[in-house]
Structure 1
């Protein structure tokens, strides 16, 4: 049932439109006796290859986003532990401060990346949190933490910032626009361009074959395009394979003091 449900998720209005156009165009070609044998390899070169290339590129971007987000979360927890465990005296003030900053950072990242477009306000908000985290390290210095430990904690913050920028690049820079436009144009033109070929199948074999092949080709090609579209933005929470950014509450439980463990 899960397989069927996930397959149905990639069907949309575009699927119905392209299938309908293919069937109607095939019918008109049969009606007006326009039947031509066309090389089916043209479909692979003009449509399938660009879409599959885009799917592979989108999947690699998703994997890169997962690696960057995993690293960001791990370094954020390490930064919290540094505030909790490395301060010579009472660390409750420091760990509460960094915990709140980390939770706010996770919430800000989620808000920024699940939007349709990045706003300057979201970007500035995240870097303001980074600045506050850096200031938190200076408070650790005044609390008696050694210079080497401060340096290591700053390395954690640096890694968090690098991972955020990697995730941001994936969000801002998508599949090449020209390649996407090319695929869309040929996918839209496909029902008309290949209708004479489907009509030839009906003429050569039996009537329903041309309509059946036209519908199957359309279903496969549009489904591939929809898969690519769902993978395009790994943060938009539309596809089942998207990166889950709603983790602030989960990490609020992880970032605890030793007494709470």
Structure 2
């Protein structure tokens, strides 16, 4: 239950308070007008859905490139193990470096420790190992390993860009402003339509409709905000990066 309540925060109570107060004032002064609610879909719903879709696409790309990062490390590890001229100590050394690179990625995504520069440095040590042992590795094997490392480096750079750069802040700020304005702008129209129907402007129904619609909009905004960083473990759909860690061992 706690996870499902994660979309509720101080912003939620703020918009509900605005909605309740504005509804009571509108009802008290009988302030109504006929507003086409299509305007709301253009002003709020469309940009809000756009930002949510963008956030989900970023999450899907993060999953794709985390998979490529891990598969690249696994391939590189097995490629080094298959090189007969490398000593057992050399194979153990590069295996440990691959594990260190994987851990550096997990530390970077965790956010508490580890930087992008440290992660890049650890990945570069694998490339340096290839150069240092060039006389023991056939050119065809070197080319194969370098091609496999491409997935590793692409995974690092793509996931880093997703973590560090969010969807446009201006669009999210625009959505939030109009969500706060929504109860003030649209409750009079809801009241007007109720007066035209069988309920004749029932106060409790007006409050229910106003609060519900405001809650839906702010909840969607909160979901989108939680998806901004898919690695911070603050949302139901966040990525468990540790599942992509390299954990194989030399027998």
Instruction: Tell me whether 45-54 or 6-15 shows the greater mean CA deviation.
Output: 6-15
Aligned length: 247
Work out the CA distance in 1 between the residues paired with 2:89 and 2:236. 40
Are 1:228 and 2:224 an aligned pair? yes
1:99 counterpart (92, 95, 98) = 95
Instruction: Tell me whether 43-52 or 129-138 shows the greater mean CA deviation.
Output: 129-138
Find the counterpart in structure 2 of residue 251 from structure 1. 246
Find the counterpart in structure 2 of residue 184 from structure 1. 176
Contact 2:191–2:201, Cα closer than 8 Å, also in 1 = no
Find the counterpart in structure 2 of residue 28 from structure 1. 25
Are 1:78 and 2:75 an aligned pair? yes
Find the counterpart in structure 1 of residue 41 from structure 2. 44
Work out the CA distance in 1 between the residues paired with 2:133 and 2:242. 29
What is the CA RMSD across the aligned residues, in angstroms?
A: 2.2
Work out the CA distance in 1 between the residues paired with 2:111 and 2:179. 28
Find the counterpart in structure 2 of residue 194 from structure 1. 186
* Alpha-carbon offset, residue 197 of structure 1: 2.5
Work out the CA distance in 1 between the residues paired with 2:219 and 2:68. 33
Q: List runs of 5+ in structure 2 lacking aligned partners.
A: none
Are 1:136 and 2:129 an aligned pair? yes
Work out the CA distance in 1 between the residues paired with 2:157 and 2:91. 25
1:219 counterpart (215, 228, 238) = 215
Work out the CA distance in 1 between the residues paired with 2:67 and 2:15. 40
Q: TM-score, normalised by structure 2?
A: 0.89
Q: TM-score, normalised by structure 1?
A: 0.86
Contact 2:3–2:235, Cα closer than 8 Å, also in 1 = no
Find the counterpart in structure 1 of residue 15 from structure 2. 18
Work out the CA distance in 2 between the residues paired with 1:191 and 1:207. 15
